[in-house]
Structure 1
């Protein structure tokens, strides 16, 4: 397994950036939106530098990851633009959500990204091959999961 490409998905939501931020920034509730996430335990209040422990699941395989929040920018601080990102170990990638207001802020484009997996460790390569169906297959599942996650946030925000 070599490097894995970055992944990205976006959706337009008929809700303000503040309404979308309220959903995306609720990290314990993210388990309801993300297909692989079983749960998150954040150590303290959310903010840059905060660490957390995640439990993930794909079919019968369960694994932990450690995260550190690298961006925490509510949209109120930047004319409706918001961002949440976290670094994930052991894959050494960054997952992020970016909020971009549409028009006069009555809608929001929500983008979810995962940076490229560059030079993965032997444990990441072995796990991908033996437990996740291979890196390429798992990336296809992750991308489909990103679209489901974004659709979940749209349904929740547009209620």
Structure 2
């Protein structure tokens, strides 16, 4: 059972800031290293985050470092009538990471972060997770904690 890849990891947080402010933060890919405990550095090719934009990441776990590449697959800013939806696919493992922003009645935002693996992850990622990153269950638990930490850090910055 420990080699099973969970198809969906998600968590949400209420933020006392308008959705437009939260959107500006979550779509700032180079700033993700400030919020995500796994990201060391992100660089967007061409410098502009938009639908189809590609980027590279340097990730970490303890002293271990590894590169990944991503592509923005959804880029829908929030409006008065629709939630914001920002998502990117990681090339190496096929997962989709996303942020959904829903305006709340009090002028704030409900921010949900997800890691989806609808088709599982690549064979190479399964092997590397098992051999290098401690196995699926411990790594998934680490990702779950990282999602929570990311949301809390974005909340703190949005409310500052």
Q: TM-score range by the shorter chain?
A: over 0.9
Ranges in structure 2 where 5+ consecutive residues have no aligned partner? none
Cα distance in 2 for partners of 1:72, 1:114 equals 16
Deviations 1:54-75 (Å, cap 9, x if unpaired)? 1100012111111010011121
Secondary structure, aligned partner of 1:75 = coil
Cα distance in 2 for partners of 1:119, 1:110 equals 25
Q: Residue 113 of structure 2 aligns with which residue?
A: 112
Aligned-pair distance for 1:82?
0.9
Q: Is the 2:94–2:117 contact (alpha carbons within 8 Å) kept by the matching residues of 1?
A: no
Which deviates further from its counterpart, 110-119 or 141-150?
A: 110-119
Q: Using structure 2 for the length normalisation, give the TM-score.
A: 0.92
Cα distance in 2 for partners of 1:61, 1:118 equals 26
Cα distance in 1 for partners of 2:4, 2:76 equals 33
- C-alpha change, 1:119 and 1:110, in structure 2 (3 Å) is closer
Ranges in structure 1 where 5+ consecutive residues have no aligned partner? none
Cα distance in 2 for partners of 1:51, 1:97 equals 17
- C-alpha change, 1:5 and 1:102, in structure 2 (3 Å) is same
1:1-159 paired onto structure 2 within 5 Å = 1-44=3-46, 45-76=48-79, 79=81, 81-103=83-105, 106-116=107-117, 118-159=119-160
Q: Using structure 1 for the length normalisation, give the TM-score.
A: 0.92
TM-align CA RMSD: 1.5
Aligned-pair distance for 1:2?
3.6
Aligned-pair distance for 1:117?
6.0
Aligned residues: 157
Cα distance in 2 for partners of 1:119, 1:71 equals 20
Runs of 4+ in 1 over 2 A off after TM superposition: 1-5, 116-122
Deviations 1:19-55 (Å, cap 9, x if unpaired)? 1111111111111000000111111211111111111
Deviations 1:69-93 (Å, cap 9, x if unpaired)? 00111214x5362111000011101
